[in-house]
């Protein structure tokens, strides 16, 4: 069996070599794909959807590559999260411009960024290696979300698929969100099935984001209390 590429035991990788880790190169590719996708989003919805979803799939590939080639890095983890948050944020901003009320999508954007940023920050405060380490959480849904890869994948994919479907269904930038959902859910088709299953997963993810926001905020407050107690 061929040896996995990576730094030799005991050797110190150079700064450039870390930037050129395979999972990080995949991350740069995702950024370029998203830039081009949003460049054509209003002129070619099909191409946009393909590029955006392919970039989303690469999110799973870079994690696999990091473990496969022993190229896990803090920079890669941050690049991955920032790319995820920005790409989803851009899509939510676009949706806020083509649906009424746009505040729904802007609220989801704010919740997504705030909950993940706070979770990442609280992770470093607590000295954990990963923001996905929530084994000590008292909330079962939060533990299930980060502890079960398939469940987390279902929720994440559901959100992106639902957002892409909604964008694809938009026509004249004045649609009412609830009208579009209600009309398509009443039909018996593959599209209505996708919307229904994606809506369930997306709802669970937003609920998890709320729990994550509260849990991370509590961790920061407890850190402050503990710090003052030791003074």
Q: Cite the active site residues.
A: 84
Query: How far, in whole angstroms, is CA 156 from its chain's centroid?
Result: 7
The upper half-sphere exposure of residue 193, i.e. CA atoms within 13 Å in the direction of its Cβ, equals 3
Beta strands in the chain (DSSP E): 99-100, 175-176
* 170 token code pair: 């938009």
The rounded distance, in Å, linking the Cα atoms of 159 and 103 is 17
Peptide bond into 101 cis (omega under 30): yes
Phi, psi of 69 (to 5 degrees): -100, 10
* 73 token code pair: 């890095």
The rounded distance, in Å, linking the Cα atoms of 9 and 148 is 31
The rounded distance, in Å, linking the Cα atoms of 175 and 113 is 26
* 58 token code pair: 């690469």
């Amino acid at each position: 069996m061929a040896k996995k590429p990576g730094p030799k035991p005991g050797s110190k990788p150079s700064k450039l070599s870390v930037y050129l880790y395979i999972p990080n190169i995949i991350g740069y590719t995702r950024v370029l794909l998203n830039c081009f996708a949003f460049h054509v989003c209003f002129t070619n919805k099909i191409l946009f959807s393909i590029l955006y979803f392919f970039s989303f799939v690469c999110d799973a590939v870079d994690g696999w590559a990091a473990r496969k080639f022993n190229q896990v890095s803090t920079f890669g983890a941050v690049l991955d999260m920032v790319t995820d948050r920005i790409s989803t944020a851009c899509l939510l901003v676009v949706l806020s411009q083509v649906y009424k009320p746009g505040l729904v999508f802007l609220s989801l954007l704010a919740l997504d960024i705030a909950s993940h940023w706070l979770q990442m920050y609280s992770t470093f405060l607590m000295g954990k290696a990963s923001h996905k380490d929530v084994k000590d959480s008292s909330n079962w849904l939060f533990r299930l979300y980060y502890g079960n890869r398939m469940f987390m994948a279902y929720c994440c994919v559901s959100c992106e698929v639902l957002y892409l479907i909604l964008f694809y269904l938009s026509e004249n930038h004045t649609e009412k969100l609830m009208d579009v959902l209600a009309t398509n859910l009443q039909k018996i088709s593959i599209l209505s099935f996708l919307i229904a299953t994606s809506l369930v997963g997306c709802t669970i993810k937003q609920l998890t984001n709320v729990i994550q926001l509260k849990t991370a905020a509590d961790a920061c407050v407890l850190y402050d209390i503990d710090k003052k107690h030791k003074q």
